[in-house]
Amino acid sequence: MASVNDFLMENVNSEPELREVAFKRFKAPFKIKSLTAEENSQLQKNATRKIRDKRTRQITTEVDQDKYVDLLIEASVVEPDLHDEKLQKNWGVIADASGLLKKMLLAGEYAELANQIQDLSGFDIEDIDDLKDEVKN
């Protein structure tokens, strides 16, 4: 039988899990980390915008799915350092980590990176569609 002590912070490994994702075009693999539910909630919040209905004057919130996925990937990539000035200048994308990744990666590579991050963070890939629907509501 489990004890409360089994769930105390000092008894739980809270280090993020790391994984390497290799793409043929790059000499070194990308390194990604898992995200906690708290970090994920903050990313969802950052991707949420308020929309005012001009007719009813009611304000609703909506999660921008593209922005959410961009923020999720940006927060998870450990290497390369997406905020490195030399890397940004080399690719011609300054102060936009998500834009940098989109410029560096092919569409399929970007999707694969997103899938690896979701898997590493404990999402069941089949549940991602359900999560997207939940976030929309």
- Tokens read off for 58: 């009611």
- The answer, yes or no, to whether residue 109 has pLDDT greater than 80, is yes
pLDDT class of 129 with cuts at 50, 70, 90: low
pLDDT of residue 57: 84
Cα 59 from Cα 94, distance rounded (Å): 34
Structural domain includes residue 15? no
Domain residues for 98?
33-136
- Tokens read off for 15: 């280090």
Structurally, how many domains does the chain consist of?
A: 1
Ramachandran quadrant class, 92 (left: phi over 0; alpha: psi -120 to 50; beta: rest): left
Cα 103 from Cα 88, distance rounded (Å): 10
pLDDT class of 113 with cuts at 50, 70, 90: very high
pLDDT of residue 12: 73
What CATH number did the domain enclosing 83 receive? 3.30.2220.30
CA distances to 2, 64, 66 from 132, rounded to whole Å, are: 33, 10, 11
Structural domain includes residue 16? no
Encode pLDDT of 60-75 as tens digits: 888 899 999 999 999 9
Encode pLDDT of 28-69 as tens digits: 999 999 998 899 999 999 999 888 888 888 888 888 999 999
Structural domain includes residue 27? no
Structural domain includes residue 10? no
